[in-house]
Amino acid sequence: MINEFRESISEKEIQKIAEKVMKLSETNIDNLFFFCNWIDENRGKNKALSENKISEIKKKKRAAIAAIKNLLLETPKAEVLKFLAKE
């Protein structure tokens, strides 16, 4: 996959990032997407994502991979990795 920043990101990299994201708390999953300026208009009381979306990402690898793919299309990989490094 090549994102809008012309970064090449392999499926293996996406899977590794998704696995790391699944290990985060639900609050930190929400914070990651907020940190990357990915804000869903149906987020409810959360900063970036709805409770259902966060729960799906936390519990289902396919959902986590899909969410990370979408995030990385519009966010520099370094920004995502920077957030994950401090968690």
Supply the pTM of this predicted model. Answer: 0.92
pLDDT surpassing 90 at residue 10: yes
C-alpha 23/C-alpha 18 separation (Å) is 9
C-alpha count within 13 angstroms, C-beta hemisphere, residue 40: 19
| Beta bridge pairs of residue 2 | 8
| Spatial contact of 21 and 55, defined as CB atoms under 8 Å apart | no
Give the number of other CB atoms < 10 A from CB of residue 72: 22
pLDDT band at 8 (very low <50, low <70, confident <90, very high): very high
Question: Which residue type occupies 84?
Answer: L
pLDDT band at 76 (very low <50, low <70, confident <90, very high): very high
pLDDT surpassing 80 at residue 18: yes
Model confidence over 38-62: pLDDT tens digits? Answer: 999 999 999 999 999 999 999 999 9
Element (H or E) spanning 80, and its range? helix 77-85
